[in-house]
């Protein structure tokens, strides 16, 4: 475990254990970037003209966890908590600082659901998303890429919000 509470990915492990280790590290990095800020700061866009906020990313990553790691691998409908057909980007907007704790808990719950949905599945296990088949290996790799990109965004936002930097 590093100084920021993140578990380092294993150095010597099988394919899925390595991939899931890197995904967990990215998840931990994201939570670290959100720690210690007020709900108002988390909902503040600081890189004009972008409307990107850490609170919006919490909500977006909640839907990514559900959409990529839960829905393709369970037999029950997995609705998005924010986006709708009429407002697909709602995770990024309509932010209420008073609901940040609730949104953060929903994110943590979605991660727990994702862990449960894919527990023990091999990398070549196939999940289906909107009629397209994906291997679990592909989806986990995609999620690592998704988190890494947003963690870069989070690092820039955090630096502008309070000067904190780090990987």
Query: For residue 2, what pLDDT is reported?
Result: 74
Mean pLDDT of 99-121: 98
Instruction: Provide DSSP, 38-71.
Output: -HHHHT---STT----HHHHHHHHHHHIIIIIIG
Q: What is the CATH number of domain 15-162?
A: 1.20.120.450
Q: How far apart are CA 17 and CA 25, in angstroms?
A: 12
Residue 28, pLDDT > 90, answer: yes
Q: How far apart are CA 29 and CA 20, in angstroms?
A: 14
Mean pLDDT of 8-19: 95
41: closest CA among 167, 163, 166, 146?
163
Query: For residue 116, what pLDDT is reported?
Result: 97
Query: For residue 1, what pLDDT is reported?
Result: 67
Mean pLDDT of 54-62: 98
Query: For residue 5, what pLDDT is reported?
Result: 79
Residue 6, pLDDT > 70, answer: yes
């Amino acid at each position: 475990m590093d100084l920021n509470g993140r578990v380092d990915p294993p150095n010597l492990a099988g394919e899925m254990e390595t991939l899931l280790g890197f995904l967990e590290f990215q998840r931990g990095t994201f939570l670290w970037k959100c720690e210690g800020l007020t709900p108002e700061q988390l909902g503040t866009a600081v890189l004009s003209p972008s409307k990107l906020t850490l609170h919006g990313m919490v909500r977006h990553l909640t839907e990514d966890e559900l959409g990529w790691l839960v829905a393709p691998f369970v037999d029950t409908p997995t609705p998005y908590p924010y986006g709708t057909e009429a407002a697909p980007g709602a995770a990024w907007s309509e932010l209420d600082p008073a609901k940040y704790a609730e949104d953060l808990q929903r994110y943590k719950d979605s991660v727990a659901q994702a862990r449960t949905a894919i527990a023990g599945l091999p990398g070549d296990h196939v999940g289906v998303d909107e009629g397209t088949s994906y291997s679990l290996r592909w989806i986990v790799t995609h999620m690592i890429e998704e988190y890494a990109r947003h963690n870069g965004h989070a690092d820039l936002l955090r630096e502008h919000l309070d000067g904190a930097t780090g990987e």
